[in-house]
Structure 1
């Protein structure tokens, strides 16, 4: 055996390994910097707490800059289909239609009431989740769930509501997302948390009564997907809700 040549080959292999590991480290650093590129819009004291608690943003997440004027929503829960009742489809349909509004409406619009008023929110293990939309913003807890199996939608469950004109409700400029995040980062998020979404919509208490009053709220989700954080976009009060609950 040519030990000199073997030694040269081993040295070259180790050099290549170091190059690959160094490149991977560089990619990780770049990804982390990209993920936190939008953090610069946060106040310095919030940034300091983020660094202290090792809190970051997931890749491609941007902090919304909008501060529109919104009013509280008043609505009634209707019982056309029964709240929480699951309805099986007579003929399952392809699940891919969820990502095409026209096909979704064509295949399920005659079956699911007011389907066009719901917007896609998330894809869970066995269901696609939609939210009731109002002026382009989601009512986070008014849901349409499409259950699927073997790439077929087999059943649905729907919350049906009727909006009511709120005579005493006036428009107010909402709390900026940066302030909502600042409160969460300082007082609620755990060390190492990774923020993957912040979205403006409406949130309120569960359907304990027929008439509901919901306020504009920022919803914040983490990568571990365990808890919803809702920050009232007027009062800044924070509520945490387990996603399993």
Structure 2
């Protein structure tokens, strides 16, 4: 290992984080000023008026640290199965698309565990991924890499596609290596304050229900090979029409994270295989 190069990368990463943290207090203060006006109704009262409901919120997460990871560069040798046709979707071989010459049968598409079983049996480092969402209409299952049961949203991702015969025809994968937790712990903004931020900024619509809040990570800094990941709240909301939306909020700074571009790339791409 080139320790000199590794040391330089981490010095650069820490410099970026120091600049970011320097402005953190002021940003959070301004956020609070924008959404908390003396004399106005409490957030609970305003949510009740708009019929925005939620269940039990996580109450045991007070701090979390930043993470770093290196983008994995795939090699053809990693895909030694003769049943696989491999193509790399970028010049750096960081995104692999695999087509099965003979599709692989899923045990039961109505059971989420069948997708996890497939990943464990057929995907490189499959145990490092966790199921995030299954779209039965599009026949797509989305996984993200995880650490300590916290997902890396749209950083290390895996999307598998199955056909009308419930057979997996292909998958697409990115991956992070050398994932490390930084020593310094940062205060995590409580869930109710995150809900207040989403309500004040407009994403939360009347007659909706927050069905899940989970802490994970999203990319804060993306270098050529190294990514810095920030603690991130995922807020899953069921709308009045029955559809579901997900929002992501920086759990340290409190800003809504716009990762729609990556989301569309994963969820809307034309796979060309049925």
TM-score (norm 2): 0.62
Deviation at 1:146, TM superposition (A): 1.2
- SS state at 2:264 partner: coil
Partner of 2:30: none
Per the alignment, residue 239 of structure 1 pairs with 257
> What is the distance in 2 between the residues matched to 1:108 and 1:183?
36
Tell me the SS of whatever aligns to 1:170.
Answer: strand
SS at match of 1:100: helix
Q: 1:108, CA displacement in angstroms?
A: 5.0
Q: How far did 1:226 drift?
A: 6.7
* Counterpart Cα distance in 2 of 1:146 and 1:123: 10
Stretches of structure 1 that go unaligned for 5 or more consecutive residues are 1-43
Which stretches in structure 2 are left out of the alignment for 5+ residues? 1-40, 76-92, 266-274
Contact 2:64 2:188 in 1 (8 A): yes
Change (3 A) 1:194 1:166: closer
Partner of 1:130: 143
Answer yes or no: is the 8 Å Cα contact 1:73–1:163 preserved in 2.
Answer: no
- Verify: 1:67 aligned to 2:74, yes or no: no
Q: CA RMSD in A?
A: 2.8
| Correspondent of 1:46 among 43, 47, 51 | 43
| Contact 2:74/2:96 (8 A) holds in 1 | no
Distance 1:217 1:92, change over 3 A: same
| Secondary structure at the counterpart of residue 216 of structure 2 | strand
Distance change in 2, residues 1:136/1:226 (3 Å)? closer
Q: Indicate the structure (1 or 2) with the bigger Cα radius of gyration.
A: 1
Runs of 4+ in 1 over 4 A off after TM superposition: 107-110, 205-208, 224-227
Change (3 A) 1:109 1:53: closer
**Are the counterparts in 1 of residues 129 and 143 from structure 2 also a CA contact under 8 Å?**
yes
> Relative to 1, partners in 2 of residues 1:163 and 1:175: Cα closer, same or farther, differing over 3 Å?
farther
- Deviation at 1:122? 0.6
Change (3 A) 1:100 1:226: closer
> What secondary structure does 1:140 align onto?
coil
Distance 2:221 2:97 in 1: 18
What SS does the corresponding residue of 2:58 show, helix, strand or coil? coil
Greater Cα offset, 94-103 or 75-84: 94-103
Deviation at 1:129, TM superposition (A): 0.9
User: Secondary structure, in 3 states, of the residue corresponding to 1:238?
Assistant: coil
| 1:68 Cα deviation after fit | 4.4
Q: When the two structures are aligned, how many residues end up with a matched partner?
A: 196
CA distance 1:206–1:157, change in 2 (3 Å)? farther
Q: Distance in 2 between matches of 1:135 and 1:221?
A: 20
